[in-house]
Structure 1
Amino acid sequence: MSELHYMLKNINHRYKHNNGQNKPLSKIYNDTINKLAENEYLIIFDDDSSFDSDFFEKSSQAIIHNKEINLFLPIVYDRGKIISPAKMIWFKGHYLKSITPGMINSKNITAINSGMIINAQYLKHKFIGYDERIKFYFTDNDFMDKFTSTNKKLFILDYKMNHTLNFYLRGENFEIKKKRFKDLRRSYLILMRRKGNFMYYVTHIYLFIYSIKFSIQQRDIRFIFVF
């Protein structure tokens, strides 16, 4: 915490965290948006995100030179693979092999929450808010789906950040992982329901196939029967 404050020593900022209450992320984000000032930017990090002071230096410069852009994204890696931004085609995300920093077309782009920098003017006046039925998983997809429907451009920062996708790590207690897996499925279906009945029912089929793959990856057949 002290290290973060040191990185931000020359930047006017306010820090908001969950205080161990385990509130839904969508609720926290909506509450935070309501408290933002017009000239601020919201920056989102996860507790396992890894970054340094260059993140703030490069994002500050990008914002200064691109005032018309409402979303800035770092290039996020997990074990050497780019995991954000990514492409969202229909109901399925696809990782990118490479991406060039700078302004890009936002069509079909999705991203994880960690490292997002969002203009408060957009959040307060044009963004309709996070769907609070989507509590943890897919809050980022919920945001990106709404953002890309009204914004043609976003900016990719010339900054590489590391982040661990803990959900896919093995060794977690089954009951805990099952609860998280059910939340992921439920949130995914809420998101796809907005896209129409066809996408909703196709996603059901995809999630069944995914549960088989996840069971193999986790080496636990019980995930096939989690609904």
Structure 2
Amino acid sequence: MKTMKLIKPKLIVLVVLYKKTISASPTISHLLSQNKELFDLELVIWDNSPEPSPEAEISGLSAVFSKFQYIQTPENVWLSKLYNQVLQANVYDYALLLDQDSELPDYYFDKLGAAISDFPDISLFLPIVLNNKKVVSPGSFVYFKGKHWKKIKTGLMSSKNVLAITSGMVISSKVILAHQMKFDERLNLYGIDTSFMLRFSKLEKQLYVLKVKFDHDTVLWSNPSADVMLSRFRNLKGTWPKILSDRPVALVLAYFYSIAVSLKLALKYQDRRFLK
């Protein structure tokens, strides 16, 4: 009697680099230690850096991953656009989105593989992302903005009012194909993940949060210079009219909230530019 060969899910892993080489990316280092036998794996490196990674580093990854793409765009393509291009141009069952600085635990693929096997109808899997030991993803959408979870929740849950950052997010091709789902290309940095999660919750009733934790750092949760914070805050403020265009009450609340935050940042940095 012949034994049936199990078909591995096709997992495409997208890592976005910016002003960092392949060898300097913690994410890629941690990917190399994963149990790669669990998936039919393809690695896509999208390099938004002005200069490409050294050829030796590209060749080194190509030798490790039999299916491998390296895309370099010195013009720094918007995240929303490159996400859509990769998700629409490739064949896969699931897509894992990662930034360059995620410290994935070695068992990430093991936990993901088990969850996919147990819940094949679920189209979105999320890790627990920490910053300074605080859970920053997933979180809750409250009125018009995100709110951090005080307690970690994992497993199958309602997708309603759940937010998450894209780093570590695993998306099934089914939701992309069935709903023609895309990331909002009007957004170039902040709000991309919020917009995606709000739309996902309208289309799919459930998602799964993995028992996986990793650290992640971002400018808004650190203490950047006034120039950096001003640029990021203006970008964030500009996303609300786009994300909340179908929620008029939330949009009004966001407007007054942005005024309060502008005042707070102006006082903190002693900089009037935050008021403009």
TM-score (norm 1): 0.89
- 1:225 is aligned to 275
Q: Is the 8 A contact 1:135 1:187 kept in 2?
A: no
- 1:156 is aligned to 209
Deviation at 1:6, TM superposition (A): 4.5
Secondary structure (helix, strand or coil) at the match of 2:140 reads strand
Report matched runs for 1:193-208 at 5 Å. Answer: 193-196=245-248, 198-208=249-259
Counterparts of 2:275 and 2:263 in 1: how far apart (Å)?
9
More relative contact order, 1 or 2 (CA 8 Å, 6+ apart): 1
Task: Provide structure 2 residue ranges, at least 5 long, that are not aligned to the other structure.
Answer: 1-21, 23-27, 50-73
Whose Rg is larger?
Answer: 2
Counterparts of 2:97 and 2:227 in 1: how far apart (Å)?
28
Q: Is the 8 A contact 2:153 2:209 kept in 1?
A: yes
Q: Is the 8 A contact 1:137 1:183 kept in 2?
A: yes
Offset from partner CA, 1:112-171 (integer Å, 9 cap, x none): 111100001211231431221111101000110110011111001011111113224224
- 1:145 is aligned to 198
Given the alignment, which residue of 22, 26, 34 partners 2:88? Answer: 34
- 1:190 is aligned to 242
Q: Is the 8 A contact 1:87 1:96 kept in 2?
A: yes
- 2:227 is aligned to 175
Q: Is the 8 A contact 2:36 2:109 kept in 1?
A: no
Secondary structure (helix, strand or coil) at the match of 1:189 reads helix
- 2:67 is aligned to none
Q: Percent identity?
A: 28
Q: Is the 8 A contact 1:127 1:147 kept in 2?
A: no
Counterparts of 1:86 and 1:79 in 2: how far apart (Å)?
16
Counterparts of 2:44 and 2:187 in 1: how far apart (Å)?
23
TM-score (norm 2): 0.74
1:16 is the counterpart of 2:45 = yes
1:211 is the counterpart of 2:265 = no
Q: Is the 8 A contact 2:35 2:110 kept in 1?
A: no
Relative to structure 1, is the Cα distance of residues 171 and 202 closer, same or farther in structure 2, using a 3 angstrom cutoff? Answer: closer
Report matched runs for 1:44-123 at 5 Å. Answer: 44-123=97-176
Task: Provide structure 1 residue ranges, at least 5 long, that are not aligned to the other structure.
Answer: none
